[in-house]
Amino acid sequence: MNSKEIREYLGRVQESGMLSHAYILEEENGQEAEALASWFAARLECETGSGCGACEACRACSQGNHPDVRRVFHEKPDSIGVEEIREQLVDDMPIRPYWGPYKVYWIPEAEKLTVQAQNALLKTLEEPPSYGVILLLTANADKLLPTIRSRGILLKLTEEERPEDLLPPEDRELALSLLRQAGQLTVTQMADGAKALRERRVPAAGLAALVRMYLRDAMALKATGRAELLRLPEEQAGSRELAERLSFGRLRQAFEEADRMESRMLSNVNYELAVELLLMAMKA
């Protein structure tokens, strides 16, 4: 499934009240799974249940300081130890949510969980409290114990569209030229850029997908420094500048802003305003 399909699936599951306590997001390369986990956590905590981006809970999520959302961190680069899982998840989960309806834990690089750590996690997965949701992010779900795998719903993230399929060349170049300069644009230049996009009738879905690709590259560079993961290698200078200028939290916020831009455009909210709000999030 691509990212959009997974989002649609998770959205439906949430709305139907059939939420599982564990999801395994498998993605070979890249940083999309992180963005997905962040999106889903915000949606679960959102005061309107939609990930509106505007309520206090959504804002706290995008700033990384919602008390009921935890991204499990680990000290050693190559392993996530049993103590880390106990302290950050197993012992914390029984404490009821402080603010929102759920407690959401996301574990990046879950393939690095030691066997001991996985066994500790398993006990929680066997009898989770009703409000507990665990998101395991991994490059390879086969490296998890079968007992863990059987308790989670596996969602495989596959490659998205190629950049050249998203927009016609002239539209793509216009959009990229704005993204490249995002840090330096004045408010007037943002408005001019948005107007140019509207006049060309650049389609919302392709534009949003291109922006997400660009931002994902910036996140990948920030996380790994490795250029070989980039989907838009020729835009490296721009995505690197963005990675250096913005924090992870701000990058995630801009990423979420790309989603909002798309839905604003599709719901006929002012096209130019939708673009300007995105550009402002990238300038921040």
Binding site for Zn ion (CB under 5 A): 46, 52, 55, 58
Torsion of CA 84, 134, 99, 7, to 10 degrees: 140
In degrees and rounded to multiples of 5, residue 224 shows phi and psi of: -120, -20
Nearer to Zn ion, 46 or 190 (CB): 46
- Measured from the CB atom, the residue of 58 and 157 that comes closer to Zn ion is 58
Residue pair 88/70 in contact by the 8 Å Cβ criterion: yes
Cβ closer to Zn ion: 52 or 223?
52
Going by C-alpha positions, the residue among 35, 200, 74 that lies closest to residue 43 is 35
Tell me the two tokens of residue 107.
């574990």
Q: How far is the CB of 250 from Zn ion (least distance, A)?
A: 18
Closer of 66 and 231 to Zn ion (Cβ): 66
Q: What's the closest the beta carbon of residue 53 comes to Zn ion, in angstroms? A: 6
Q: How far is the CB of 97 from Zn ion (least distance, A)?
A: 16
Query: Which residue in the block uniquely carries the two structure tokens 């721009």?
Result: 238
Q: Alpha helix locations (H) across 69-114?
A: 82-85
DSSP state of 269: S
DSSP 154: E
* Nearest distance, CB of residue 46 and Zn ion, angstroms: 3
Nearest to 148 by CA among 156, 138, 158, 157: 138
Least gap, CB of 153 to Zn ion (angstroms): 24
Q: Which is nearer to Zn ion, 46 or 281 (CB)?
A: 46
